[in-house]
Structure 1
């Protein structure tokens, strides 16, 4: 019995160590591009064959894991969050060149309820982003990979955030809004 308890505790510590990261964004795009974009439009798609999981393990092995909405079409729910994030940036990105931004989702790995209410983890969002001239369709910035990680507090902290209105969806949409703004400025 003690050995079994020790193994469980060790597994939880290892899981926590693997899943706790700082919030951050990593992009393969050019750092020295001078941008003056106004957001005229956007598209959302996914790479073919993404796996969606509704499993409640600590770390389901799937491309799409999302629990911030009721069960349903998870890809449509994620597309709606990206759309909201783009909408929030329309008035902020008001530069000289109108652009269309194409997002192709590669991975959206949130946390399961089991993880959220215990150890916490990371929302891992990976997408390809292409920037095109809105008038001609010409590619201005070819597809680049964006990796964005947002801390997902666990346990009591997660409960307090939820109670204060900082739901998973609110936090992720706010984060995506900032990520997109940062990638386009």
Structure 2
């Protein structure tokens, strides 16, 4: 039987051939438009067609993969994280027009415990969703539906342990990433867009 260290080494070498390009990408809204908004609500939909699993493997092929909270309704957990991130990122809007942001989850593929424990310089939090803004009073669409990629490198091994010790759990990291993306998507804050290469799903 292969020892865990040898197994992890073999998987790392195997994943090296599968290094992919990931990105944080979206089209920024017009700040002149968003300056008049104030967020009344954020609604998140999780399509029933999205697959999910508790499989703890190196490359589980499912839409929702989340082990950063106790076992439970992973769809609801992913929706809550996405909602919290968008609310946090949109909190700075102080305009007079009350708006409703509607997001639809597409991918919520975080790293598994086995990746966190055994691999280095590997692993990606693959968060993708679509988002649209509506007038909260009239229901009129103020933007077209827009795809958002909020992918970023996962902290694994010692780096992950150190982050946890500082309170930067995977959940906190993902909420913060979505908040940063949302803030800039709305026309304020630093621009996190860009691509990177990393071994992952």
TM-score scaled by length of structure 1:
0.85
For residues 31 and 179 of structure 2, the distance between their equivalents in structure 1, rounded to whole angstroms, comes to 20
Deviation at 1:21, TM superposition (A): 6.1
- The verdict on how the C-alpha distance between 1:156 and 1:21 changes in structure 2, with shifts beyond 3 A counting, is farther
**Which residue is equivalent to 2:75?**
75
How far apart, in 2, do the equivalents of 1:123 and 1:92 lie? 26
Partner of 1:177, secondary structure, is helix
Cα distance in structure 2, aligned partners of 1:157 and 1:20: 21
Q: Name the CA distance, whole Å, in 1 between partners of 2:96 and 2:180.
A: 20
Report the counterpart of residue 184 of structure 2 in structure 1. 182
Q: Deviations over 1:6-62 (max 9, x none)?
A: 99745413425646767x4211x3665743222111111023311111111111000
Unpaired runs of 5+ in structure 1? Answer: none
> Contact 1:21–1:122 at 8 Å: present in 2 too?
no
* Cα contact 2:135–2:141 (8 A) shared by 1: yes
Tell me if the contact between 1:126 and 1:145 (Cα under 8 Å) persists in the aligned partners.
Answer: yes
Query: 1:74–1:182: structure 2 CA closer, same or farther, 3 Å change rule?
Result: same
Three-state SS of the structure 2 residue aligned to 1:142 is coil
Quote the RMSD (CA, aligned, Å): 2.7
Deviates more, 1:167-176 or 1:93-102: 93-102
Q: Which consecutive segments of 4 or more residues in structure 1 shift more than 3 A?
A: 5-11, 16-22, 29-34
Q: What CA deviation, in whole Å up to 9, does each residue of 1:130-178 have, x standing for no partner?
A: 1111221111111111111121021111111112211111111111111
Distance between the aligned counterparts of 2:163 and 2:21, measured in 1?
18
Q: How many residues are treated as equivalent by the alignment?
A: 181
Task: Tell me whether 104-113 or 117-126 shows the greater mean CA deviation.
Answer: 117-126
Q: Map 1:66-105 to 2 at 5 A.
A: 66-105=66-105
